Amino acid sequence: MKFTLYDNIHTFYDNAYEVLMTNEAQNMLILGNLIIGHKGEDTFGWRDTSKWVMATLADDTGVCLVGLMTPPWNLTLYAVGNKVDYAALQCLVDGLIALDIPIPGVITEKSLAEAFATAYCSTKKLTHSIFMSQRIYELCAVNPEIPLIGSFRPAREQDLSFLPYWISDFIASAGQDSDISADIETSRYHITGGKLHVLEDNGMAVSIAKIVRQTPGAACVGFVYTPPYLRGKGYASSVTAQISQLCLDAGYKSCVLYTDLSNPTSNSIYQKIGYVPICDSLEIRFC
């Protein structure tokens, strides 16, 4: 088993891209980030590839495991064919530890996440716990019966009157640390990128959603948020349906999104829109 750690995003891309594309929808997180890094056009926040941890494990048949970490976020992994190779996992663990690379946690397909967490924490004498159980969904057609409420448009500068607060609440609800001054900067970034969209009802902003990352055939939908005082009115369904249709109309074959399995409401909403489960994922943190 050969462990390779890369210091050049383009070399890593050359060795990992085709492997990840064999399961495009499932790999939306790691593959989308790889494409962002390879293009090199966006270095905001975690997107500075000089800080990334990039690795492959290969046997006689080729690459069998891909790992990418974009600090401060967790390690993302993909095992070819979703076959957990314990020898490859241990080789990856030993390589990361030997190079003194700290890993705060892992996020990937459920069985692989559990296997890596066990191997890493056993070797490092750490403990681990599940932070979030997720499900990855894919949509190829929007249910035409979903009511399309209000008007749907790209976010704009005037939306800074409310966007930082909505984004701050969204981040906090996902269990991440939020700081309003940083969220103002993040809001400006989202507006400039043109991928964050706002749903209005009777001229008032009621919900948001964003195209988070893209691969050749799919677009990942995220940042779906409706403030608490406006929930229960169908706005989340409408904004998700409209941004999903926007992606399909742009030529993507499918849309992908991640859900928190502890939230049955959102999981139900997405399935009614047309999203179909493709696999379960775990975010596991180490301590």
Which pLDDT tens digit goes with each residue over 46-87? 899 999 999 999 998 999 999 999 999 999 999 999 999 999
- The CATH number linked to 214 is 3.40.630.30
In a domain, 263, yes or no: yes
Q: Is residue 165 part of a domain?
A: yes
Range of the domain at 169: 139-280
pLDDT recorded at residue 259: 93
**pLDDT at res. 179:** 64
* Number of domain units in the chain: 2
- Start-end of H helices in 142-220: 163-173, 180-193
Q: What is the pLDDT of residue 99?
A: 92
**Looking at the structure, do residues 94 and 29 belong to the same domain, yes or no?**
yes
pLDDT, one tens digit per residue, over 170-204 is 888 766 766 666 778 888 888 888 899 999 999 99
pLDDT in tens, 217-265: 999 999 999 999 999 999 999 999 999 999 999 999 999 999 999 988 8
Residues 147 and 246 in one domain: yes
Quote the tokens at residue 204: 């008032």
Does residue 245 contact residue 239 with C-beta atoms inside 8 Å?
no
Q: Is 76 within a domain? A: yes
Q: How confident is the model at residue 43 (pLDDT cuts 50, 70, 90)?
A: confident
Average pLDDT over residues 125-141: 96
Q: Which residue, 126, 151, 179, sits at the end of a domain?
A: 126
Higher-pLDDT residue of 170, 3: 3
Question: What's the pLDDT at 44?
Answer: 85
- Per-residue HEC secondary structure of 42-59 comes to CCCHHHCHHHCEEEEEEE
At a CB cut-off of 8 Å and minimum separation 6, what does 162 contact?
205
Whether residue 161 is found in the same domain as residue 117? no
CA gap 130, 7 in Å, rounded: 30
Tell me, yes or no, whether 198 and 275 share the same domain. Answer: yes
pLDDT of residue 187: 85
User: Do 111 and 174 lie in a common domain?
Assistant: no
Q: To 5 degrees, how large is the angle CA 56–CA 4–CA 125?
A: 80
CA distances in angstroms from 135 to 54, 108, 221, 266, 270, listed in the order given: 25, 10, 13, 11, 11
> Per-residue pLDDT averaged across 26-42, rounded?
94
**280 has a pLDDT exceeding 80:** yes
pLDDT at 266: 87
- Residue 145 and residue 97 share a domain: no
The domain that holds 45 is classified in CATH as: 3.40.630
| Residues 6 or more apart whose Cβ sits within 8 Å of residue 122 | none
Which residues, other chains included, contact 48 with Cβ-Cβ below 8 Å and sequence gap of 6+? Answer: none
Q: Is residue 286 part of a domain?
A: no
Q: Tell the residue number behind the tokens 């705060």, with chain if given.
A: 104
Q: How confident is the model at residue 42 (pLDDT cuts 50, 70, 90)?
A: confident
**Angle of the 9-21 helix axis to the 28-39 helix axis, nearest 10:** 150
